[in-house]
Amino acid sequence: MPVDLKLWSATFNPGGLPAWPCPKCGDGRLSVSEKDMKIIEPFYSKAAHNHEAWEHDWVIERFLAVMKCSDPKCGEIVIVSGDTETVEDYDDELGHVASSQLRPQTVFPAPHIINIPKETPREVAKELKLAFQLFWSDLGASATRLRTSAERLLDDFGIAKTRIDMKRKKRVFITLASRIDIFKKKYPEHAESLEALRHVGNLGTHSNVSRQSVLAGFEVYEEGLAEIYGKRSKKVAKLRKKLIKGRGRLK
């Protein structure tokens, strides 16, 4: 399923944060009531309003929101905090106007940006969940954790991390690119997804990765995990055969 970019934007309307999926149950959606949303402007920012050169983009604001899962059997609580960003809008009557947008810096526990199949190994899922958490505060670190999750996947498939360098007579690490090449010999249909994640992770390491690239990496990884651990194609093929055999009815 394509990643909904509107859910994972950098900023949001003060009128409401998105209905993110619940990080606990996965079925419910998160929401926040007006009483559970606080936007506060520090004194020094308020005082600056009296300056003759004051502009709206001088405003400094912090916000805190308490979101709750819509499923009453779950009721998970997610805390969102951050600041605001001044953006310019256009109003038909007023023309160009400045407004504040919420900019989350922490979301805890973090909603899952993509689905993680229940069959996914613990270490693979652990790094992916850290990537979700870091997505709001440090895109580069999030991309790096995404790459690390791919490395744990290779571990799960028994792809060696080290080798013996005969010339130097010592054990050396095998690069991720080389590990993916080894993986490709056995599982060519999945190697390209891991290669894409390697490049996204490399950009993250150098703090040169965009939000769009990280989200694209998540989307690619979701498809890969669904095939590798969720066996999506096999499940669909089995379901297809059942429908044909039952003439449209599942038996």
- Going by the DSSP 8-state scheme, the letter that residue 100 receives in this structure is E
Q: What pTM did the predictor assign? A: 0.86
Instruction: Please give the pLDDT value at position 163.
Output: 87
The pLDDT confidence band at residue 248, using thresholds 50, 70 and 90, is: low
Instruction: Please give the pLDDT value at position 76.
Output: 98
User: What are the pLDDT digits (tens) for 124-152?
Assistant: 999 999 999 999 999 999 999 999 999 99
CA atoms within 13 A on the CB side of 215: 14
The pLDDT confidence band at residue 247, using thresholds 50, 70 and 90, is: low
Mean pLDDT of 182-199: 93
The pLDDT confidence band at residue 201, using thresholds 50, 70 and 90, is: very high
CA separation for the pair 221, 190 (Å, rounded): 10
Residue type at 242 in one-letter notation: K
User: What are the pLDDT digits (tens) for 85-119?
Assistant: 988 776 666 666 778 899 999 999 999 999 999 99
Instruction: Please give the pLDDT value at position 1.
Output: 64
Instruction: Please give the pLDDT value at position 111.
Output: 98
Residue with the bigger pLDDT between 169 and 120: it is 120
The three-state DSSP-derived secondary structure of 55-79 is CHHHCCCEEEEEEEECCCCCCCEEE
The three-state DSSP-derived secondary structure of 148-204 is HHHHHHHHHCCCCCEEEECCCCEEEECCHHHHHHHHHHHCHHHHHHHHHHHHHHHHH
User: What are the pLDDT digits (tens) for 8-32?
Assistant: 999 998 878 999 999 999 999 999 9
Name the percent of the chain lying above pLDDT 70. Answer: 93
The pLDDT confidence band at residue 222, using thresholds 50, 70 and 90, is: very high
Tokens of 139: 């895109």
Instruction: Please give the pLDDT value at position 124.
Output: 97
The structural domains of the chain, with segments of one domain joined by +, span 1-111, 113-251
